[in-house]
Structure 1
Amino acid sequence: MKTIGLLGGMTWHSTHEYYRLFNELVNKRLGKEHAAKVLIYSFNFQELRNWQLEDTTFLAEQLALQAKKLETAGADIILIGANTMHEYYQQVQNALSIQVLHIGDAVGRTIKQKKLKKVALLGTKYTMQGDFYKNKLAEYDIETITPSNEEQKIINDIIYNELVKGQIIEKSKQAYLKIINKMKESYDIEGVILGCTEIPLLIKPEDTELKTFNTTEIHALSAVNFALDNK
């Protein structure tokens, strides 16, 4: 079994989900008392937020530095445990001799397997407004639709004011579902990418008739497949 290296703490709530998924998925495959081999570096999320607002160059350097430490400690593959931080994917990959498993590749392959062509992308403002995620999905012939600027603010505020603190509020869930339903009516989307690793804490598959893509689950499954099958 290969060892998974995870850059976590973005936030600790989603890191907890990653760790749970790694172990459950390995045990489901191997049975008995088997569990995943995992190395985690957990960031102080407040520091990350400060760097994100004040010094993104330093932020990218820190991601690369801690990923290199995981590689040195014995990790065979690295995961960046947050959609937004994949904006700095290339800087991290350039610092390593092992693969960084891009969350967009994992999601893109999964959507393509479902034969969907047009999906909504929900996430932080950095993910929704940036090109790094959309361009990656375009490699899989997937068209990505994002909400309006006003709706993006609602989504982003709920993430940073509630979800990163572990607060799950019904009113916020309904706000998300209203945006999803509006996008379905306006753009005829076929599915929804829950493109922040905290959003699946709020939105569940049974909450909408559309196919939802839990990026945390998809990313974790891809890592376990690599760890067990080397692919």
Structure 2
Amino acid sequence: MRKIGLIGGMSWASTELYYRHLNKGLQMRVGTGCSAPILMESLNYCDLSRLSTPEQWDHAKEVLIASARRLEAAGATALMIAANSMHKVADDVAAAISIPLLHIVDETGEKMRADGVKAAAVVGTRNVMTEPWFRQRLVRHGLTLAPYDASRAEEIDRIIYDELMQGKVTEDSRRTMRTFITDIAKQDIQALVLACTELVMLVDPDANLLPVYDTARIHVAAGVDWILGDAP
């Protein structure tokens, strides 16, 4: 098996999901007596949360590059960043190391292209839903994306930052997300992209009439493929 590097802590709740499902995914493939070989660094999210200025993003880029280099030096053969939002600087991180970086947006886009999805809507934090780096990268895979609806952004951000990133799951927020998804599904789309690694704590991708592409689940599957040597 190949050893994979995981940059986490953004949030710890998301990192916990990654660690658990990398191991569960590997066990489903090779047997319950096995564990995934993972090198993980959990960063302090106090320094990386709700970034808005170029200076803050420059700092985040340097923090992630330093982390990636440490994981490579420790023996990681590929790298994963366990957060959608931090993939804004993923290309800079990838350029600073000599091992592959498994990009969460590309893995999701390739999966959707393979499934024949042409039109989708994105649900995540405000910066992921609104900033061009995420949307343009998905569009490269042949997708048309529904317009961003600003009316939901504040409540979705509250649920993600104030609850899910603290490991809290409430029935009120589950109902709110169910209502949002029902409304989104009325658009002329074929699928929904969960573009926040914590949203799967509230939204069951297998329990919706509209196909739901959970970026975290897809990213983890790519990680398992890498560990087992099924990815180039």
TM-score class normalised by the smaller sequence: over 0.9
Output the amino acid matched with 2:5.
G
Q: How far, CA to CA, are the matches of 1:188 and 1:148 in structure 2?
A: 14
CA shift, 1:207, in A, is 4.3
Q: How far, CA to CA, are the matches of 1:32 and 1:48 in structure 2?
A: 36
Q: How far, CA to CA, are the matches of 1:206 and 1:90 in structure 2?
A: 31
CA shift, 1:81, in A, is 0.5
1:225 alignment partner in structure 2: 225
Q: How far, CA to CA, are the matches of 2:183 and 2:28 in structure 1?
A: 38
- Point out the structure with the larger helix share: 1
Contact 1:128 1:146 in 2 (8 A): no
Q: How far, CA to CA, are the matches of 2:181 and 2:24 in structure 1?
A: 30
In structure 2, stretches of 5+ residues that fail to align are none
CA shift, 1:148, in A, is 1.2
Contact 1:107 1:213 in 2 (8 A): yes
Output the amino acid matched with 1:2.
R
Name the % identity.
Answer: 32
Cα distance 1:171–1:207, how it changes in 2: closer, same or farther (>3 A)?
A: farther
Task: Answer with 86-95 or 203-212: which moved more.
Answer: 203-212
CA shift, 1:113, in A, is 2.0
2:39 alignment partner in structure 1: 39
Q: How far, CA to CA, are the matches of 2:134 and 2:148 in structure 1?
A: 15
Task: Answer with 142-151 or 105-114: which moved more.
Answer: 142-151
2:215 alignment partner in structure 1: 215
Report the count of equivalent residues: 230
2:6 alignment partner in structure 1: 6
Q: Secondary structure at the match of 1:7?
A: strand
CA shift, 1:118, in A, is 0.9
CA shift, 1:64, in A, is 0.7
Q: Secondary structure at the match of 1:229?
A: coil
Task: Answer with 103-112 or 24-33: which moved more.
Answer: 24-33
2:198 alignment partner in structure 1: 198
Q: How far, CA to CA, are the matches of 2:207 and 2:164 in structure 1?
A: 17
TM-score (structure 2 length as normaliser): 0.93
Cα distance 1:146–1:8, how it changes in 2: closer, same or farther (>3 A)?
A: farther
TM-score (structure 1 length as normaliser): 0.94
1:84 aligned onto 2:85? yes
2:178 alignment partner in structure 1: 177
Contact 2:4 2:80 in 1 (8 A): yes
Contact 1:61 1:91 in 2 (8 A): no
2:127 alignment partner in structure 1: 126
Cα distance 1:206–1:227, how it changes in 2: closer, same or farther (>3 A)?
A: closer
| Cα deviation code 1:24-51 (max 9, x no counterpart) | 1112211252211100010111222276
CA shift, 1:145, in A, is 2.1
Q: Secondary structure at the match of 1:18?
A: helix
Q: How far, CA to CA, are the matches of 1:182 and 1:108 in structure 2?
A: 23
CA shift, 1:97, in A, is 0.6
Q: Secondary structure at the match of 2:145?
A: strand
Q: How far, CA to CA, are the matches of 2:163 and 2:133 in structure 1?
A: 25
Contact 2:206 2:212 in 1 (8 A): no
CA shift, 1:216, in A, is 1.2
Give the root-mean-square deviation of aligned CA atoms: 1.6
